[in-house]
Amino acid sequence: MASLRLGDIAPDFTAISTEGTINFHEWLGDSWAVFFSHPADFTPVCTTELGTVAKYIPEFEKRNVKVIALSVDNIDSHYQWVKDINETQGTTVNYPIIADETKQVALLYDMLHPNASENFTVRSVFIIGPDKKIKLTMTYPASTGRNFDELLRVIDSLQLTAYHQVATPANWKDGEDVVIVPAVSDEDALQKFPKGYKSVKPYLRLTPQPNK
């Protein structure tokens, strides 16, 4: 299976999860999604990640984002693990965790990297749009926990730039100035961005975030 690239349609699948059987595209509906994999159940870093995501659900919901996780252990193991996560992280996991015992989904999404580990999925992250297309991919080693503040920042950027002809500069955060894309002429920029813009260079024009 070749690696999935940005703009590819996220592969559809049907799988058992802690929230029942998931038909992925149907479950996604008109929402965005964060889909992320875990090397195994009862692993320390994953336990903190899944607990953190549960606490971030209100932030994801504000952005019309659904969250779904995957591990290659069985569903009974997942249920036991969720109890541990809730206890140790002081939260309630209320999103589906796929039980991918056959590795069917992991293979579809190229989550198995044999040179890193024969049996475990790496820490993959996919952000998927309502059009079912992949908007972001990230792969972390098993030893490094993910930064979910960064994923929220990327979602803010993706949702902003999907509807306005802007891009977001380095280290941008929601509410800060954005860059007008080169395809917009100076004349059109005055129409499209009534708050005005600052021309640092002909190709570098900054404007206040248009949806604020």
**Is 76 noted as a catalytic residue in this protein?**
no
Paired tokens of 130 = 């309502």
Within 13 Å of residue 201, how many CA atoms lie on the same side as its CB?
A: 4
Give bridge partners of residue 47 from the DSSP assignment.
none
| Length of the chain, in residues | 212
Name beta bridge partners: 1. Answer: none
Euclidean distance between the first and the last CA atom of the chain, given in angstroms as a whole number: 42
Active-site residue identified among 10, 33, 34, 46: 46
Q: Which of 45, 67, 187 is nearest to 128 (CA)?
A: 67
Contacts of 93 (CB under 8 A, 6+ apart): 18, 50, 51, 54, 82, 85, 86
Residues taking part in catalysis: 46
